[in-house]
Amino acid sequence: MSLKIIFQDDHFLALEKPAGLVVDKAETNKDITLEDILISELKINLPRGGIVHRLDKDTSGILLVARTKQALENLQAQFKDRVVKKEYLALVHGLIEKAGTVKGAIGRNPGNREKFTVLLGGKEAVTEYEPIKSLQLSVFSLQEIFEDFKKIQMRKLERQKYGEFTLVKCKPKTGRTHQIRVHLKYINYPIVSDEKYVGRKMFRLDRRWCPRMFLHSAKIGFNHPEKNKWMELESKLPEDLKEALVRVKGKA
């Protein structure tokens, strides 16, 4: 698999992880992983192929990979000390009118070990969010997407206000598993096509027009591990998510 590299030098590289690619090897995963590719194709001889941090399987965007042991340790320390600044783009259900911060400790969901949730005794987690644009599926788009729906089903969509969305900029201040997904769900603005957290019925509706979870790692800022110079790298929204956005338009 060819990976798109945004930046590289002798110390580290930044790549665009495609959606659907698992980052780390695991006994439960039999597919090729990013770790496999980095070790076999890029010949990076470091633990986890030099991967500094991780993104969920269906999240796309920027990911940092070290080329040397020194760079790996430096970048990992920057993440641990919260020097690194991350920015994600998400499309969520509902209309968010103003920016805010979610503070809610996160741990495994006692009822489903594959999910995480906000709960007492979890690990500290903080996410800042800011609405970029309010969006809405037009009546024409709704009729096109749900052309097989009967009138009673369409009226139910209208009552649920299905079709109202917000494009949101998220800045996680901590790095918990599923953090952005869990926090947006916690404040009742779940991410479009997020199979784990949007709910089964909503997920089936979303997948008719958005092929996967609408979450993208769009920007990262950090100190160069060798030169100690601040760097900022960006990743544009991939085509599949751009096409999903075409289906919704800004509210006047």
Taking residues 23-30, what's their average pLDDT? 72
Which residues in 9-36 are b (16+ Cβ under 10 Å) and which e?
eebbbbbbbbbebbbeeeeeeeeebbbb
Could you give the 3-state DSSP secondary structure of residue 49? helix
Where residue 49 falls among pLDDT bands split at 50, 70, 90?
Answer: very high
Taking residues 7-26, what's their average pLDDT? 92
Q: CA-based angle 122:126:127, to the nearest 5?
A: 130
Q: Is the pLDDT of residue 252 over 70?
A: no
131: nearest Cα among 95, 102, 161, 101: 95
pLDDT digits (tens, 9 = 90+) for 215-224: 999 999 999 9
Catalytic residues: 56
User: What tokens were used for 190?
Assistant: 């779940």
Task: Compute the distance between CA of residue 140 and CA of residue 143 in angstroms, rounded to an integer.
Answer: 5
Taking residues 72-94, what's their average pLDDT? 97
pLDDT digits (tens, 9 = 90+) for 223-241: 999 999 999 999 999 999 9
Where residue 139 falls among pLDDT bands split at 50, 70, 90?
Answer: confident
Task: Compute the distance between CA of residue 157 and CA of residue 143 in angstroms, rounded to an integer.
Answer: 11
User: What tokens were used for 230?
Assistant: 């601040």
pLDDT of residue 1: 63
Where residue 250 falls among pLDDT bands split at 50, 70, 90?
Answer: low
Where residue 20 falls among pLDDT bands split at 50, 70, 90?
Answer: very high
Q: What is the pTM of this model?
A: 0.93
244 Cβ partners below 8 Å, 6+ apart? Answer: 91, 192, 209, 210, 211, 214
Q: CA-based angle 176:179:182, to the nearest 5?
A: 140
Q: Which residues, listed in sequence order, are joined to residue 232 by a DSSP beta bridge? A: 221
User: What tokens were used for 243?
Assistant: 């096409």
Mean pLDDT of the chain: 93
- Show the domains of the chain with their CATH numbers: 4-250 (3.30.2350.10)
Q: Is the pLDDT of residue 26 over 80?
A: no
Task: Sort 153 into a burial class: Cβ within 10 Å, 0-12 / 13-18 / 19+.
Answer: exposed
pLDDT of residue 131: 98
Task: Compute the distance between CA of residue 248 and CA of residue 252 in angstroms, rounded to an integer.
Answer: 13
Amino acid at 122: G
